[in-house]
Every structure is written in structure tokens, then in C-alpha cells.
Structure 1
Amino acid sequence: PALTLTVNGVEHALDVPAGRFLAEVLRYDLGLTGTKIGCNEAECGACTVIVDGRSVDSCIFPAFKAQGAEVLTIEGVAATWAAHQSPVSNLQSQENGDWRLETEELHPLQEAFVHYGATQCGFCTPGFIMQSKTLLDANDNPGDDEIKHCLKDTYCRCTGYTSIVGAVKAAAEKMRTGHLPEPELPGVVEPLAQIGKPLPRPDAVAKVTGTAMYTDDYLFAEMLHGATLRSEHPHARILSIDASAALALPGVHCVLTQADIPGELRHGLVEYDWPAFAGGQFPARYVGDPIALVVADTNELAHDALKLIKVEYEVLPAVTDPVSARRPDAPVLHPDRPDGNLLKHIKVRHGDLEAGFAAADVIVE
């Protein structure tokens, strides 16, 4: 079916399959990869765009609801502030020597996110800027509580949010006065050349304008797409996997399971106790544990094939908290570990314990 919409001031007419979501159209049909897909279920806010002046979670927003609409993505935000001066030529990329946006003017939100350190890994940054823009378009002098309420459904694991709230307030001041205030920094006893100064990240401009590239942002000719089949149960043994119907679909190249891994099955940071796929001697240990990977010509085909894979489970008792995990009769999640469900036993002793207990108002055992 034909979809006509205007994105960042440019009209597009596309032939889009029914059931496609706006984020997919923006990313995979138009190449606007600044809109990120994080959770893919409207929980994290990374996919936020503005449709006819209203912020939406584009990962669940049907593309055809945007029929005839004006859509603004992170790539188009700077142009909405084009009449104001905010050159970024002093921020040079350390990776390729060219921001690709060296002389482009930034929106106050983008400028503030750069100078306030409000973008770190940067994956969530487009969502925060888009959501904040809807607030500042309606209210250019919001308080902390209004900013926090606006951003309550947009998540960041890097910043702790303080720098983000500060950046939004600073952007609001820039919109009102034309001046971006300097970040408030803790005092430094002996100031050094760099330490204690608000230095922008070398990649900050790319992250606030949506041009920073992450793994899922790369597209190649004849590229194959993967989709993961995940466990429906918190604890279950995989008895069998029947992928014959999925493999029969034209365009499906393979379905990979644990049996297809020729080397080490497990990986991990603290311990090598995380199998790449559940199966065989390793049961599924949480809802979402990977079981199989479909590789197909398109993303849609890979996900369609997932629905055809049949998994036979032996559902096992779940372990849902540390207390029950330590009980003698608790199901053992890692049978190959000598200490069962215990990863490590750490004792911390500091000061005079007896004196501490004697001086305590309450003792809880």
C-alpha cells in the first residue's frame, strides 16, 4: 500500500507493507537511523519522534497512522532552529576529522546536551531530545518537576539523569534569552588544564544529531537479517526444536541452535556461565533466554519464521529470589557449579562488631 508523509520537511511516497511500524519506515526505508529501536515495545523511549506536533513511540506506531502527517526526527531538529546561531565548528571529530555537520546550526537542546555531558553512550539521546522538544515547544520555562514528568518514560542507564535535566533547563534559557548558561561544576582545589572543565565528548555532536552509527544502523547490499527465538518460561529444559516449517519458507537461509556452535558454548563477564543458546545440558533460565536464531533475506521474513518453530519444553520450578535460591531443596540453576546457586560468598568485617551491636538501637537477624 502507498504511504505518503512528510519527514523533516521532505515529502515521501512509499510502498509499505501492511503492519509496518513508523520506526521501521524511518530507519529501513528512509535510512533515518537516528531514531533508535531499543525495547521495541514502547517502554524505553529511544524511538520517540514527533508526529503532527505530538511525541509518539514510533516502534509501536503503525506507519499508516502517519498517512499525510508531518513527522520530525532527530535528523531534522537542528533545521527547526536554523534562524539562530549555534555553530559547532569548534567541535572536531577525533575519529574521522569531520563531523559531517561541522557548520550546521544546532537546536538549543542539542547544544545543551553536548555541553552538559547529557549524552554519553548516546543511544537514548535522540529520544530524550525529541521528548524534551515537545515540552519546550509548549513551555520554554519548565521547572525540574515538569521536566522529570515529561521524561518519565524515557530511560538512560549512563547519565543518572541529572545532566539531562540540567541540559533541558539550559536549552530553555537559550530559547528565552539567546544565551546558553555554563554548567555548574563542583569546585576543584587546584584547577588543571582539562580536569574540572566541561569538555564536550569528541562524538557528542554526532550523537545529538542522530548521525552516530550503532550496530543496527548499518545496511549492506544483500545483507541477511536475524531474529531470535526466546524462551517462554523462566526455567525449562529444551527437549526438542522443530524448525522444519521455518526452513521451508523461501528466503530463510538457516535456523541456528546450540548444536551449530562448534566452539565454546558459554560466555560471560564474571563467570563463563551464560550459554549463547539454551538447549542440551543448559536449560533456559529466564523468560527471553535465546533458543534459536533465524537468518533470512528480510527482517520481516525472519520474524515470520520464528512463529513456525516448535519447541518442546519440560517446565522446571522457577527460582525467583536470592532467599529461595539458597534453600536446600531449591532447584539448581547451574548444575555444573560446585556451589550450586551460590556464585560467591564474601565476608566483610570492619571495626569492632561487638561494640557496634552493643550500641545499636535495634538488631535484626
Structure 2
Amino acid sequence: MLDVKNLIRELNNLYDNGEVKFDSSLTYLMDLNFIKRIEDRYLITNKWINFSGKITREDLISSLACCYPPLLDYLLWKVYQEAYAIGQSGDGEALYEFIDHIPKFAEKILAIREQKFSETSEIKAFYGPIFKGYPQYRTILTRLQFIQLAEEIEDTEVERIGKTPNDIWVKERKVSSNIHLEVLKEKNLYALTPYKYDDFQVPEEIKEILSYPWRTFIVVLGMVISEYKAEGINGISIRPKDIKNPYTEQLLETFIYDHKGKEHKIGDFKEFVKQFCDRNNIHLFPNKAPEVDVILFQLMDNKQFTYKDGEYVLNSSFDDRLYSSEGIIIKNRARKFKSMLRDYIEELRKSL
């Protein structure tokens, strides 16, 4: 009998961290292409990520739990029996609603409608976690609707997470967009989340940056901004929406300069980051823009970023430290990642 509480716990772990150690209760999700097995790990797929951008966390966890084959068969059979009874009562509109709501399950329903299903203790164990009680007709129908939103998306291979930004921020990497996750004591093998950075011995301030993916991202972007300025070029600018209160946490905006030096507002900073990730096949889970505005203000609090001449830039003293021996892991071992960012900015500049 399946341990439903353990299943829900592992689904939540996957939602947060992108991968978990092998657990046999999750095998059915591999058959459905929501996860794949690599060595002793289960890693979420692009199908999972695409699905995560369409519904809430609670609905995604419940929907994936409902995909457990014995439960799904029972729910389809149960909802068909009720719909059939509705049709027999002459309520044609309700029957049409049933047919219209779950077209992808039509073939499955036809295959099981004449079978006999019993409400086993295993099936009952799902009711509380998924339905908050005994499942009603419309509640089941809604859950089945959500499941149909999942699309078959081709998955891709990605190398193991390395020890430096160049080997961490690579194309096809799956990266958590949740900025509030706790630091993992043992880092994942493939999906990038905050983890205690012990790969190299570095100063505590640098370790703090490397332990949080989005801090690393913004610091490296800050280096790109600094290098543009050192070349006498305005390439990209991050600015507050509320220019009267630049030190108050708020949504930020991104400006790109074309090759004639004219500035163009291209939208919110977090959407710029999301579009960069999409363009470079960096897969964010859940599939939404990370709250990088919050991260930048954390870096401001740490005196690593500052507000100067109407925009957010690296603090000059911290910038100098990054280019010294203290920041060697970021200075020398983030060049590929920095180039990836700059190439994207140059694409935008050329397109304006």
C-alpha cells in the first residue's frame, strides 16, 4: 500500500528543490514523464516545469497525486457513474459540461466505464490531502481539468552542477525561481537551488553570494554593467520605478541602450531575468519570474550594491574586491556565464 503522506512530502520536495533521492512511490510520475531518473535521483522534467507555470503549487501537487494510476482510474470511473446518473435524470446541460470538461480522458473512460472499482483504504488515504474531505463530483471534475493542462514537452540533458558559476549556470540547467528556499546542506546534483557553498575555500562574503543562485546572478550582472562603463559604453541600466525612494524595496525596471546610445525601457527587471533564462534554455521551476528585486535590495543592505546616478550598480569597494584575489572564483570562473549575459544584452541592443 502506498504511503500517501510520504508521496505528498516528496512531491513538495520536488516542487521546491527539483530533485530528490530515489523513492519508489514516485515511479508512476516517471512513466508519465513528469520526472526522470538519473543514477539514484529523480529530477523534474520540462513537462513538470511547463505544468508548474499554469496552476498554483497546491493544485499542482494535488493534480500529480491524482495521477497515481489506481486513484485516477477510480476517480474517472466514479465521475462517469455520476455523470451517467445526471444524464439519466434528463439534465442534458450537466452531461454536456462533463463531456466538455475532460475530453482528454474520453478514451480512458470508455475503457473502464463497465469495470467495477472498490473504494480501497489506499484510495481513501488520498481524500484528506487532496480533497480536504470526501471528494465531490465537481471537485473531482476540476482536478481532472487541471491534469489535462499538462503537455508533453521534450526534456533535455544537462551536466552535473559544477563548482564554479561557469559550470553551474549553463544552458539546460533547471533553476529554482523561489528566492525564499532554505540553503541545502548538501547540494543537488542537477537542479540548482540555494546550497551551502563549500566547493572552494573563499571569504565568507563571497561564500554567501555563491550559496544563493540569484545573488550570484545579480553580482555577475553587476560586473557586466561595470565593464560596460569601463569601456565608456552604456549597455544596460537597472532603475527604481519610484525614483524618489530608491532605497525602499520596490519593483525595478530595466533599460537597454541601442548602439547610438539611446535608452529604451524594456520592462520590469524580473521579467528581463526570466526572458534571459528562457532565451538561454535555463528552465525556472516553478515556471515564473524570480523576485530578483528583493535580492538586489538584500545586496544593497550588505553594501555590495549601491544607488548611484539614478541606477543600481556594484558598490565600488566591493567591485574592487571581486577583481582581487578574494573574488577569484567569480572573477576568473564566471567568465562564460558573464559572456552569456553580455551576449543576451548585445542581442537586445542590436534589436532596438
Report 1 or 2 for greater relative contact order, CA contacts < 8 Å, sequence distance ≥ 6.
Answer: 2
TM-score by length of 1: 0.28
TM normalised by structure 2 equals: 0.29
